[in-house]
Amino acid sequence: MDLRDRLDWALKTSTREKPTPEREEPGSHGEIPWGEVVQTPLGTCVRVVEEVPLHSYHGQVSVREIFERHPRALGSFLKSGEREALFPDECLFLDTETTGLAGGSGTVAFLVGLARFVDGALQVEQFFARDFDEEPALLHLVRQRLREYEVWVSYNGKTFDVPLLNQRLVFHRLERELLPREHIDLLYPVRRFWKNWLGECSLARVEQQLLGVRRESDVPGWMVPGLYFRYLRERDPWPLKPVFDHNVQDVLSLVGVLNAVARLVEQPEAFADRSEAWRAGSLLADAGRRREAVRVLERVLQNTTDARKRKRVLLQLGRLYKTLGERHRALPLWEEASRLPGFSVEPYVELAKYYEHHAREVDRARQWTERGLENLRVVQQLFGPGHLKREEQDLLHRLERLHRKMGGGLKTPGASGTSPGG
């Protein structure tokens, strides 16, 4: 029996297993037995609370593991530059279930899941609108909780969840725009680190491959709107219960994925074979945390055997050493990069600059420039003489200047002199 068959069976049998509610008058609301009705200044809605102990596992990862991450690793994904450390209990995890998957002015978030660490557990709060007239109350409670946290964590929330909630707040004249100081949308680091390995980066795919989550009887997202509309027609809550469970699982996955991306920054070697772990170095370098970027890239390099990936890490690490004024550390990296497949003019240019301007060995600088031209022209034989034309002109200009310094004219690369020997 496949998932669709199981859902059809659940919908047919739910009325046998549970008392069928009487048909309600328009404007009345069906009960949600697993939740409580909450009164707000804007009416009522339903609140469901689930406490998830820290020792619980989601897939192969315990909820507690996120507390093992260094706060600076978690803080790597903050964008404002106001802080570098982040603790798990400073985050609010957000996921919505809606009446449409494409968004738009008519789409409503009928169920909003919010998770936070409180009193030694992960508390998952769900706010549910039993009908469209309960949406203002739901938004009121969600807005209150969101305002308590400066850091929100979502998956594609910058594009979907948060704009949708703001759209509905404006529609009901409750808020012009509600935005956090920091919003960690995990879709972006996941794409950055794992897109080449994962292929597509849906949350279902990510949680399966990174967290080991297997949802045996989960409701697929495309069925969620239909189940809510069925509830509105029939007022039977039980076929809707899997949607609440689905939302809890989504929120738990947000915690797990945040832990995974922070672990990659902290322990890149753990993901060496199935990620673009070197990008963690870029992330830290872009944030101005260059020493940490060096540490990450050095560990990535130790665990990278693929020649093309290794070359990329060598060049990135060389740039960082150069920025830090440690060119002597970059020298062996540039030399190794020049020997690996996948032509790049960068190591030849950097070695020529070093020997010309810092070591004052003009002949060594000439040798590396000629070596770069020789390899560039091999590439041009494959892709045509117009390929890398600008890089060729730059190398020729550099070579001409070096020959002038040595008191001679421009010579054809490779016609004289020895190859760089180190």
Instruction: Give the DSSP letter of residue 166.
Output: H
Would you state the pLDDT for residue 284? 87
Give the rounded percent of residues in the chain with a pLDDT score beyond 70.
88
* Least reliable range by pLDDT among 140-154, 193-207, 248-262: 193-207
pLDDT at 277 over 90: no
* C-alpha to C-alpha distance for 74 and 91, rounded to whole angstroms: 10
- Helix or strand or coil: residue 154? strand
Please give the domain boundaries of the chain with CATH numbers for all domains: 31-265 (3.30.420.10), 268-406 (1.25.40.10)
pLDDT at position 1, please? 45
**pLDDT exceeds cutoff 90 at 313:** yes
- E strands, 146-233, are 151-154, 182-185
Q: Using alpha carbons, select from 127, 59, 63 the residue that is nearest to residue 89.
A: 63
**pLDDT exceeds cutoff 80 at 294:** yes
pLDDT tens-digit series, residues 40-92: 999 999 999 999 999 999 999 999 999 999 999 999 999 877 788 999 999 99
The pLDDT value given to residue 2: 53
- Kindly tell me if the per-residue pLDDT of 11 is higher than 60: no
Question: Mean pLDDT, to the nearest integer, of 213-217?
Answer: 87
Q: What DSSP designation does 341 have? A: S
Tally Cβ neighbours within 10 Å of residue 5.
9
Contact indicator for 409, 403 with CB cutoff of 8 Å: yes
pTM of the model: 0.80
Contact between residue 278 and residue 300 where contact means Cβ atoms under 8 Å apart: yes
The least confident of 83-87, 99-103, 109-113 is 99-103
With a cut of 70, say whether residue 19 has pLDDT above it: no
pLDDT for 341 beyond 80: yes
Give residue 408's pLDDT: 65
Q: In the predicted model, what is the mean pLDDT of the chain?
A: 88
pLDDT band at 175 (very low <50, low <70, confident <90, very high): confident
Structural contact between residues 182 and 152, judged by C-beta atoms closer than 8 angstroms: yes
* pLDDT tens track for 239-266: 999 999 999 999 999 999 999 999 999 9
Confidence at 22, pLDDT banded by 50, 70, 90: very low
- 381-416: per-residue pLDDT in tens? 999 989 999 999 999 999 999 999 888 655 555 443
pLDDT at 367: 96
pLDDT per position as a tens digit, 343-393: 999 999 999 999 999 999 999 999 999 999 999 999 999 999 899 999 999
pLDDT at 7 over 80: no
CA distance 372 to 382: 16
The answer to whether residues 361 and 355 touch, using CB atoms and an 8 Å cutoff, is: yes
Q: Which DSSP letter does residue 189 get?
A: H
pLDDT for 194 beyond 60: yes
pLDDT of residue 218: 87
Instruction: Tokens 């022209």: give the residue.
Output: 377
Measured distance CA(313)–CA(319) in Å, rounded: 10
Q: What mean pLDDT is predicted for residues 159-180? A: 92
Closest CA to 69 of 225, 230, 267: 267
DSSP 282-301: HHHHHTT-HHHHHHHHHHHH
Pairing of strands 57-58, 61-62: antiparallel
Matching residue, tokens 């055997």: 305
